[in-house]
Structure 1
């Protein structure tokens, strides 16, 4: 009986914490603020902890409130309930460690599988309620799209805060030997072509392509530095290399898959074209894909491809053999949509421009370091987005137009 009372008391306490902290809006930071705080004498572990103890409960409570706005059948799926429990536990951990250091690493690792687990919940819900016409398809798509955009953007922001603190103060050595110039997870002078080509995005995508198709296209990479007036200096920007890597890696995977499947058994594959261009401040990375079907790449709902039987953990990547019918090179349906959120996190974007019969240009746009985090905020009126998002029926429907032109009256 005491255990039951303790659990009820704990649940009541957590509800109060969530209600309290969800009244506040998150405090977005710019990349410049992250850099200024983490460099030199400004880096203070105690100040960082104080900020995290104030800010993390707000961001966690906001996203927990958003989860509770989902339709009950979706909330009741085992996968979504598991994700919800992770956020509740993390908030509880922070509350319990008000007087001493919380285990930031444990909190961060707890959420490694949020993306595939939430994907599984969405698939379970779709299979039960959408395919059975218990929930309108158009409404499902818009509502879940709206939620997932905000949910995953919040996740990116929370991991950014935890990563910065852990990398700056998590160990005795303040400098990461592998990336000595980085301040936390941010490189003030990130050489873009090294991330794009080097040992990172292109090479990793090419390795996957080679393992599946036994061949891969070359890369033609152009670089334009308009900031330094054509003096040959490589393009460098202040950015989060891991975010840039994730975006470009996903684009290369799609570009290579399109090329290999379009040319099939040909031994002469056209190269993948990429362009890195820097203006006075803003960066653009463009990758050309050899097909024009861009619409299915931009939705943040994996309705067509369910998560694999063995889900990848966090941002790590695992190759699955062709005989298992699910392979990484084909994607799980959320690589590019998540990439788009990484781009939008600091007010940039990832856009696809499709030319029918020719191909698709994918552009990543990263803005200057002055731009702040793009953060969702809980709003009580948000529940309306989960009830109705239908367009007004004030447009012509082709199937209802008269087939006989003689029925038109003269004006």
Structure 2
């Protein structure tokens, strides 16, 4: 079977179908469209959603395959990157060969294919991180790679959200339409991931900072929790690690982390304030660079052996454990926030701590929302 796969993929590298699909524009949906088309009396919304995905996913995957083909030779030939490239080609092949969806039986088989592809691609972010060792980078590669990684990571997030939304349309969960929560509480989501981060921190350090939440704690509104499930645990874990490592002499007397929620009719802002020592001014601009990792930072400034390394070693997989040393988490979180019509900004008080501002546009606020 492995031999058959290895033969099939190379033969698909220059498949004209990929080139044709890559020339088509992507049709991105607003979350509001997904919300209001996610229900019907006769269940017809399920078939409409499946047919949309059958048209859309091959186009988006073809766009990414085109991106892989444009990589610098030294990066594109990396075995790990080549493996991810082949995963995308194989996904395109499977999706393109699926017969037109006419009835519920076809849709059920398509759901099985979506679940398989979600499983096959679950480690793509980690593979991309492993496949771009900083030692191989040159300045011109950085200029090419940042937009490539931004686009690949956000496109992956978009496709996973669309696939997960379709699968979730089969479920009947209170306050949910697909993956959209109709009454999302930022406070409850922050509490959930703060508890998760505290358990990790206590396991590693024997203690963890408390998390205090203030601001608009009663706010509720329609939103998609999935991307927040990636970003929030990373920001909270790193605030805790920075706090603990800057207070190693007093590990059972550490300052709280303060999370402030600001909700308005346009966007949501979450500020995470720690007292973990801050970031040196001369390195602040570098934290959103892919692969600005522990080793590189420590080599440039001996002060970075402690708390700062935890800001740049964020993991990208949400519920998975931390991804030490890849330097992928913060730029990935920034890319996700921008994809969702928002931003991720850092304000450093060197010697004191860091404030991280996560700004996300509402899906039902004034003006057009982001598109997935």
Name the TM-score, length of structure 2 as normaliser: 0.81
Q: Does 1:116 align with 2:126?
A: yes
2:330 and 2:63 mapped to 1: Cα distance?
25
Q: Which runs of 4+ in 1 moved over 6 A?
A: none
Report which stretch shifted further, 55-64 or 359-368.
Answer: 359-368
Which residue does 2:15 correspond to in 1? Answer: 15
Q: Quote the Cα distance in structure 2 between the aligned partners of 1:336 and 1:313.
A: 8
Alpha-carbon spacing, 1:204–1:257, altered in 2? closer, same or farther (3 Å):
same
Partner of 2:269: 284
> Paired residue for 1:59?
60
Normalised by the length of structure 1, the TM-score is 0.74
CA distance in 2, matches of 1:313, 1:275: 23
Q: Give the aligned length.
A: 331
**Farther off after superposition, 275-284 or 336-345:** 336-345
Q: Structure 1 residues 33 and 8, CA, compared in 2 at 3 Å: closer, same or farther?
A: closer
Q: Work out whether residues 293 and 325 of structure 2, in 8 Å CA contact, stay in contact via their aligned partners in 1.
A: no
Alignment match, 1:133 = none
Q: Is 2:278–2:353's contact at 8 Å kept on the other side of the alignment?
A: yes
Q: Distance in 2 between matches of 1:165 and 1:212?
A: 38
Contact 2:208–2:244 (CA<8 Å) still a contact in 1? yes
Deviations 1:249-305 (A, max 9, x none): 111111111111111121211100110111123111000133332445322335556
Distance across 1 between alignment mates of 2:131 and 2:31: 33
- Larger Cα Rg: Structure 1 or Structure 2? 1
**SS, match of residue 44 in structure 1:** helix
Equivalent residue, structure 2, for 1:347: 341
- Residues 349, 366 of structure 1: 8 Å contact kept: yes
| Runs of 5+ consecutive residues of structure 1 not aligned to the other structure | 131-135, 226-233, 307-311, 319-327, 375-411
CA distance in 2, matches of 1:355, 1:206: 24
Aligned Cα root-mean-square deviation (Å): 2.7
Partner of 2:289: 299
CA 195–160 in structure 1, closer or farther in 2 if over 3 Å, else same: same
Residue number in structure 2 paired with 1:30: 30
- How far does residue 185 in structure 1 lie from its aligned partner after superposition? 1.5
Q: Which residue of 2 aligns with 1:409?
A: none
**Other structure's SS at 2:37 match:** helix
Tell me which protein shows more helix as a share of its residues. Answer: 2
186 and 43 in structure 1: CA distance in 2 versus 1, 3 angstrom threshold? farther
